Structure 1
Amino acid sequence: MRKLVFLSLISLFMVSCGSTLSRKQNPRQPNEESTIDSTAIEAPQQDALEQPKLIVGIVVDQMRYDYLTRFYSRYGNDGFKRLMKDGFNFTNNHYNFIPTYTAPGHASIYTGTTPADHGIIGNNWYDKFKGEYIYNTDDANVVSIGIEDDKEGKMSPRRLLSSTVTDELELFTQGRAKVIGISIKDRGAILPAGHAADAAYWMRGGDKGIFISSSFYMDAAPLWVQQFNNSNPAAKYLKEWNTLYPIETYLASGPDLNDYERAPRSKEQAIFPYDLANLAAENGNYSLIKSTPYGNSFVADFAIAAITNEQMGQDNTPDFLAVSFSSTDYVGHQYGVNSVEIEDTYLRLDKDIARLLNHLDQEVGDGNYTVFLTADHGAVNVPAYLKEKKFNAGYFNERDFVRDLDTALTEKFGNGKLIRNVSNDQVFLNMQSVESIDASSQEVEEFIASFARNYPGIDKAYTRTAMVSTGFTGGMAAMVQRGFHQQRSGDVIFVLDPAVIVYGDKGSTHGSLQSYDTHVPLLFYGYGIQKGRSTDRTSITDVAPTISSLLQISFPNSATGKPLTKALKQL
């Protein structure tokens, strides 16, 4: 039974006995009929452990490190700059594995390890045992909370194999810590919140702009969530999106009118302004908000409401709020790294982060909470734009690759059905077909890898045999291996050339092991954090051990990262 239900039952019991139970009060009280003379036992001294009252983890989806510096002069003093100036800034922080996608990124931040251990190898992946694609957080065994009979709420963290720092906090405090995850995306809320959380909430768009959850966490949404949703909170964001400042001042971006951006349906060109109210009907109604900076504002609204209504950081047991701002990713995919839209989105996010920090100051008190800010991956500039600037860049046609590979396998082995699936830059063998030919699976793997290495647009290829039999210690091979899960991953993994993507010719994407995808911000601020800056190379897997060390709790059970002691004060 979930912690929330358990505590509710205890509360009802205490009320029936003519007593009350505070939010964090220990329900175990001496029995009046106990044979032990409680008056003869001296209570131990209460020497409180030095811990922050609240940890706030902020993940900005698709945030490249250079967004901190490229737009720095345009940020206010109370958002990104406050974290950078008054906190600790690791300027050379990277992902140490591929693929660099949202789900593996969030999972790695909070588990302190990589997909090789935590098992989240993509947002979606091919399940070779079921013979079908699966989504990282879908769960047919739960139901939606907040909206009835809706598949968007049938989600849980059950495919996450490792514990999270949030899980370890719950275990350490015997469930007294309050842990909540919030995001536009389900995976951005669920994977950080972990398995033992009080709640995870994500946006349900379409005809309703509300936050929902699943029965994995609760039987019914709290009253404050119901009231928030009943107020039609997203309606105010279906309005005009124009630049925050005069458009001629957006000098950190390319021209607003260009050939590299994808306009919303029913709008001829991807240029400002965007009349969201008129565009909504052709673009998913409230889902349109996700692809604008107002999606981040909507998340900030809900996070602020959660801090207040859940009384987070209001006692001596640390709480944990995991917030993921996902609209940056939607905007980046649609308009690209160099767009005015992405610059405006970050200028507005800066104000939302300032609003969140200001609320924390008021509710919890500056100096009583700790914030970290990072990203789940970066992004590449639009390859068509790079090609125009005479860079080596381009697009990879996966269908052509599969067709040509099938032809080559037929010519080599006399069987054109040796491939079961190609997805996420992985080739899955059809083992039944492989067993019917006069060659081993290792021989087929090596043939495919050799074919891939000589195929236009592919840089490197690695076999399953190499991944499970060799301990790579550096370079690209080690990054591939850290993202390779022996049970869930494919039989051949290939790496595309730099700035070559599987995507349309408008907008941007991510997923590679190139620095534009791996280099992301890492800022720590607040209780227990030094002021400073370091150019030492750090890994995303260092975040959870650092927060665990600050909290003085166990590391997540599969953690491979290290605490970043430069950022921590000697408490």
Structure 2
Amino acid sequence: MVDQMRWDYLYRYFDRYSEGGFKRLLNDGFSCENTYINYIPTITAIGHSSVYTGTTPAIHGIAGNDFIIQATGQNMYCTEDDSAIPVGTAVDNSAGKMSPKNLLASTVTDELKLATNFRSKVIGIAIKDRGAILPAGHFADAAYWFDNSGDWISSSFYMKDLPKWVKDFNKQKLAEKYLKQDWNTLYPIASYKQSIADDNPYEGKFKGTEKAIFPVKTSQLIKQNGLGLVATTPYGNTLTLELAKAAVANEQMGNNPEGCTDFLAISISSPDKIGHQFAINSIEVEDNYLRLDKDLESFFKYLDQTVGEGQYTIFLTADHGAAHNPQFFTDQKGNGGYFNSKTAQKGLNDLLKAKFGQEKIVISLSNYQVHLNNTLIKQQNLDEVAIRSAAINYLKTLEGVAFVTDMDKASEAAIPARIKERIINGYNYKRSGAIQIVLEPQWYSGSPKSTGTTHGNWNPYDSHIPLVWMGWGIKHGATNRVTNMTDIAATVAGLLHIQEPNGSIGSPIIEVLNK
């Protein structure tokens, strides 16, 4: 999975891709050209969960990167687990207190373990903890994620100590070595025709720099930014795939002594961090994909040599896309804007206080949802139906708001069917807000001072994702039929002749399978 990869990136930079990376996937594999995310909000943790469970937040329960337990008002990070002990880092480091316990449904990786009586090997790898943990599932042999100390770590959910090969990998200090090389464009900067000028007002700069321009002297920024800086450069992609190669070699993945299929779940996190900081029209994003293309070429060649060409199966997809920076869009005379969530929440609470006599009835507008203070409402015996109605009427008056719906009445709402389906699929009543806000196209939460980009909405720029398959059991070709993110797990299950995940709502993409 490539975090924040829009579908059009397959073709936007196609002419400059090498033959062995993205072009190899498209030329030798099978592309599902119209694959969509069938829920909102389009957020990283939900995307990783939905690809591997074949279902949506309504069933798998991962309602955001962070979500709110509605019964208590407690904020919960998607992979948070206070019972887990960090492995490979300090015991008090919260970065290691992680597991998949909040994921309510099984993953296709779980089903593979069950189908082979746990003889298959499953490992998840990503810079982001959620990108490694959620795809690997509940029965994984390991999940590894990157700590800002510069090391790959895990938690006691998987192991008591890091394997020797991971410790040896950490000893190479690759993050530091890469950053000391600085980040300049792969090709002459004048040749980056798919991007706007390097010096522009839409990009966020690194701490310790005056402008967001090339070259980026990462060697000089380590002290102020830490080794976590590598995640916001293309070197994060290289680092991730180098660890993946080490996992293949040291865990004998693809050469399982029991003769079983193994599953290596990789998420490439850096494109998301680069996109958030620099926006989608930047030279930084273009350079990232040109460099990722070469990293993929290297990784595929490595698999050819170690597992055997045609003896492994790849699928490449994304957890979500990204919008144009609204200020850039409006500067080009398009329509768009920023929805200020903090201002909206304050205005909403002021209104509700005047009507119902209580402060902070709304505790959050995260994930474009209104989260009510259910404990307060219950204690004060407030009229929740009236509160919801007043909140909806207020939100409808705000600029940039297209639709607002009470989730108890979502099926009856006067909202286009495709959007309504995504609202319902994304709603988990135990973990999602009582009211869903849908913004107008090219609007997202932020302010005119916001640089970079973000995601989270139903629109094609956030929901149209790549899905390309290659290798064993895969036909060559493409389909323009509409497919969903939730179809991926069912397709993998069909390929492997194993049961679909226990919450799956997807259907196998039969055109892909060479049967």
Assess same fold via TM > 0.5.
yes
- 1:90 pairs with 2:32: yes
Cα deviations by residue, 1:332-363 (Å, 9 ceiling, x for unpaired): 00000000000000000001111110011001
Aligned to 1:229: 170
**Alignment partner for residue 561 of structure 1, among 506, 509, 514?**
506
- 1:534 pairs with 2:454: no
1:134-145 to 2 correspondences below 5 Å: 134-145=76-87
| Aligned residue identity for 1:534 | T
Aligned to 1:171: 114
Aligned residues of 2:70 and 2:430 also touching (Cα < 8 A) = no
Aligned to 1:305: 246
CA shift, 1:486, in A, is: 1.5
Whole-angstrom distance in 2 between the partners of 1:148 and 1:506: 34
CA shift, 1:369, in A, is: 0.5
Cα deviations by residue, 1:393-417 (Å, 9 ceiling, x for unpaired): 1111112111221232234444444
Aligned residues of 2:316 and 2:468 also touching (Cα < 8 A) = yes
CA shift, 1:331, in A, is: 0.3
Aligned residues of 1:119 and 1:160 also touching (Cα < 8 A) = yes
1:327-342 to 2 correspondences below 5 Å: 327-342=270-285
Aligned residues of 2:71 and 2:375 also touching (Cα < 8 A) = no
Deviates more, 1:229-238 or 1:160-169: 229-238
Aligned residues of 2:377 and 2:384 also touching (Cα < 8 A) = yes
CA shift, 1:425, in A, is: 1.4
Whole-angstrom distance in 2 between the partners of 1:130 and 1:156: 21
- 1:148 pairs with 2:90: yes
Aligned residues of 2:70 and 2:374 also touching (Cα < 8 A) = no
Whole-angstrom distance in 1 between the partners of 2:363 and 2:151: 39
- 1:60 counterpart SS class: coil
CA shift, 1:454, in A, is: 2.1
- 1:129 counterpart SS class: coil
- 1:519 pairs with 2:464: yes
Deviates more, 1:460-469 or 1:559-568: 460-469
Aligned residues of 1:529 and 1:568 also touching (Cα < 8 A) = yes
- 1:295 counterpart SS class: helix
Aligned residues of 1:468 and 1:486 also touching (Cα < 8 A) = no
Whole-angstrom distance in 2 between the partners of 1:95 and 1:368: 29
- 1:566 counterpart SS class: coil
Whole-angstrom distance in 1 between the partners of 2:3 and 2:222: 23
- 1:220 pairs with 2:173: no
- 1:409 counterpart SS class: helix
CA shift, 1:474, in A, is: 2.9
Aligned to 1:209: 150
- 2:308 counterpart SS class: coil
Aligned to 1:508: 453
CA shift, 1:438, in A, is: 8.5
Whole-angstrom distance in 2 between the partners of 1:544 and 1:469: 31
- Structure 1 gaps of 5+ residues are 1-58
- 2:511 counterpart SS class: helix
Whole-angstrom distance in 1 between the partners of 2:215 and 2:360: 51
Name the % identity: 45
CA shift, 1:167, in A, is: 0.2
- 2:76 counterpart SS class: strand
- 1:286 pairs with 2:231: no
CA shift, 1:209, in A, is: 1.2
Whole-angstrom distance in 1 between the partners of 2:383 and 2:410: 17
Aligned residues of 1:111 and 1:544 also touching (Cα < 8 A) = yes
Cα deviations by residue, 1:115-142 (Å, 9 ceiling, x for unpaired): 1100001001222334332210011101
CA shift, 1:172, in A, is: 0.4
**Alignment partner for residue 116 of structure 1, among 54, 58, 61?**
58
- 1:463 pairs with 2:416: no
Whole-angstrom distance in 2 between the partners of 1:332 and 1:496: 21
- 1:320 pairs with 2:283: no
**Alignment partner for residue 544 of structure 1, among 471, 489, 503?**
489
Moved over 6 A (4+): 436-439, 468-473
Whole-angstrom distance in 2 between the partners of 1:421 and 1:84: 43
- 1:424 counterpart SS class: helix
CA shift, 1:473, in A, is: 9.6
1:344-493 to 2 correspondences below 5 Å: 344-434=287-377, 440-467=383-410, 474-493=417-436
Distance 1:177 1:404, change over 3 A: same
CA shift, 1:448, in A, is: 1.3
Distance 1:417 1:180, change over 3 A: closer
TM-score (norm. length: structure 2): 0.96
Aligned residues of 1:210 and 1:233 also touching (Cα < 8 A) = no
Aligned to 1:22: none
| Aligned residue identity for 2:175 | A
Distance 1:217 1:435, change over 3 A: closer
CA shift, 1:311, in A, is: 0.5
- 1:69 counterpart SS class: helix
Aligned residues of 2:58 and 2:427 also touching (Cα < 8 A) = yes
CA shift, 1:188, in A, is: 0.2
Whole-angstrom distance in 2 between the partners of 1:302 and 1:410: 53
- 2:487 counterpart SS class: helix
CA shift, 1:81, in A, is: 0.4
Deviates more, 1:460-469 or 1:81-90: 460-469
Cα deviations by residue, 1:465-514 (Å, 9 ceiling, x for unpaired): 21488999932111111000021111111112211111352100001111
Q: CA RMSD in A?
A: 1.8
Distance 1:265 1:443, change over 3 A: same
Distance 1:553 1:395, change over 3 A: same
How many residues align structurally? 509
Deviates more, 1:462-471 or 1:160-169: 462-471
Whole-angstrom distance in 2 between the partners of 1:219 and 1:294: 29
| Aligned residue identity for 1:355 | S
Distance 1:415 1:213, change over 3 A: closer
CA shift, 1:453, in A, is: 1.8
CA shift, 1:252, in A, is: 0.8
**Alignment partner for residue 13 of structure 2, among 71, 80, 88?**
71
Cα deviations by residue, 1:509-550 (Å, 9 ceiling, x for unpaired): 001111100011000100010000111111000000000000
CA shift, 1:231, in A, is: 2.2
Whole-angstrom distance in 2 between the partners of 1:531 and 1:416: 60
